[in-house]
């Protein structure tokens, strides 16, 4: 079974071709510090070939949702050291996903601070979770050119902090409508400076961040997550094939560990410019190891690897509910079902109490 075969990313030989996808769980404290339950949560899932952490805020400004972790001060770094050490003790490999939410936040979560974005364009038709309940999105403040350049450096420092915390590498979260994805998208980026107004310019922020991360932490330790066909958080690309071809051609020049592609389903009739299969369309363009993501089962994941484009498949909800997912796939055993009510926030219930086989 290909899913259970070892595979290399960078200099790391992984025990299987199954990655645990990054999943926000909102179990940090109000200072963005993870605790002992988070150590156990990741350690329980160390049988994954690769663990990609939940999204981690690169700065105080980056935070948009309550109880999400950071990696921008020493207390946060020290807390993550306990996680990475425990995962390594179990023979696991773990990457940190670096996060800036941009406009996907709310001032109620940011001590009254207005969310920032490439342009002053609000998300419509969705609401954001705050400790005071669901709220309509606010219009974000457009970042100045100098501020954008400063955020590039924040990503670089966060990557350095992640390596200090013991992570094996970092993944830039440039998907699902967060800040890097906002820069990429015509619908969120109407800038007229060097970061907007053409596909090359809209790609610039992501490429600068990746270049800085690579320069800071070294060869084949930096990775990126992309969602070329996701429309979540009001993201629309007018010409995704042209834009992401340009982006991947530039990423191909960098010594990356992998490219993580979300294959998001969508109604094709509404977006005729979107390819039907992002992993196939864009994975074929990447010279790097490709990780395929979004809604895969045991069978469809195996079929994806059989195609030969992706070398790993990442699983989110299935790993959430099945800490021993590789063993369950190996035995083709019954899977635990996720409790959606406890996915975000709360205590240990729905976090570290999912049963293992024979437990």
Nearest to 279 by CA among 295, 267, 255: 295
Nearest to residue 23, comparing CAs of 125, 111, 97? Answer: 97
- How many CB atoms sit inside 10 A of residue 13's CB? 11
Nearest Cα residue to 280 out of 297, 292, 268, 267: 292
Cα(203)–Cα(230) distance, integer angstroms: 17
Look at the chain and count its residues.
359
Cα of first residue to Cα of last residue in the chain, in angstroms, is 25
Where are the alpha helices (H) located in the chain, listed in sequence order?
36-44, 74-89, 145-164, 179-184, 199-217, 240-251, 278-283, 298-307, 317-321, 325-331
Q: Which one is catalytic: 41, 137, 178, 315?
A: 178
Torsion of CA 351, 158, 195, 128, to 10 degrees: 30
User: What does the radius of gyration of the chain's CA atoms come to, in whole angstroms?
Assistant: 19
Instruction: Report CA dihedral (113, 116, 121, 123) to the nearest 10 degrees.
Output: -70
Q: What gap in Å lies between CA 200 and CA 347, rounded to an integer?
A: 44
The Cα–Cα gap between 168 and 84 comes to 9
Cα gap 191→186, rounded to integer Å? 10
Nearest CA-CA partner of 49 in 15, 10, 73, 13: 15
Q: Does 155 participate in catalysis according to the annotation? A: no
Rounded to 5 degrees, φ, ψ at 256 are -90, 160
Contact 168, 12 (CB under 8 A): yes
Whether 20 and 95 have beta carbons less than 8 Å apart is answered as: no
Which residues are identified as catalytic?
A: 178
């Amino acid at each position: 079974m290909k899913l259970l075969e070892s595979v290399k990313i960078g200099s790391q030989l992984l025990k299987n071709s199954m990655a645990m996808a990054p999943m926000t769980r909102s179990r940090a404290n109000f200072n963005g510090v993870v605790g002992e339950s988070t150590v156990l949560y990741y350690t329980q899932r160390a049988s994954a070939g690769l663990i990609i952490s939940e999204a981690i805020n690169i700065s105080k400004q980056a935070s948009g949702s309550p109880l999400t972790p950071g990696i921008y001060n020493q207390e946060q770094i020290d807390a993550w050291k306990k996680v990475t050490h425990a995962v390594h003790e179990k023979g696991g490999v773990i990457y940190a996903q670096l996060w800036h939410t941009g406009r996907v936040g709310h001032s109620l979560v940011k001590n009254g601070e207005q969310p920032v974005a490439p342009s002053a364009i609000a998300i419509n038709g969705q609401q954001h979770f705050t400790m005071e309940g669901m709220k309509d999105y606010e219009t974000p403040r457009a970042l100045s050119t100098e501020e954008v350049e400063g955020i590039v450096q924040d990503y670089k420092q966060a990557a350095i902090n992640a390596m200090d915390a013991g992570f094996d590498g970092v993944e830039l979260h440039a998907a699902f409508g967060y800040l890097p994805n906002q820069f990429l998208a015509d619908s969120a980026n109407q800038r007229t400076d060097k970061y907007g107004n053409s596909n090359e310019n809209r790609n610039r922020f992501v490429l600068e961040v990746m270049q800085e991360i690579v320069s800071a932490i070294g060869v084949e330790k930096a990775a990126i997550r992309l969602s070329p066909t996701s429309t979540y958080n009001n993201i629309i690309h007018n010409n995704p094939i042209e834009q992401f071809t340009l982006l991947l051609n530039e990423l191909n020049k960098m010594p990356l560990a992998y490219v993580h592609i979300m294959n998001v389903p969508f109604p094709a009739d509404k977006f005729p410019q979107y390819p039907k299969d992002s992993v196939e369309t864009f994975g074929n363009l990447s010279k790097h190891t490709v990780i395929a993501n979004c809604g895969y089962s045991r069978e469809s994941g195996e079929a994806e690897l059989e195609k030969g484009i992706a070398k790993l498949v990442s699983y989110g909800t299935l790993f959430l509910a099945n800490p021993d997912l590789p063993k369950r796939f190996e035995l083709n055993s019954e899977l635990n079902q996720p409790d959606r009510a406890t996915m975000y926030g709360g205590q240990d219930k729905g976090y570290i109490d999912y049963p293992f086989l024979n437990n």
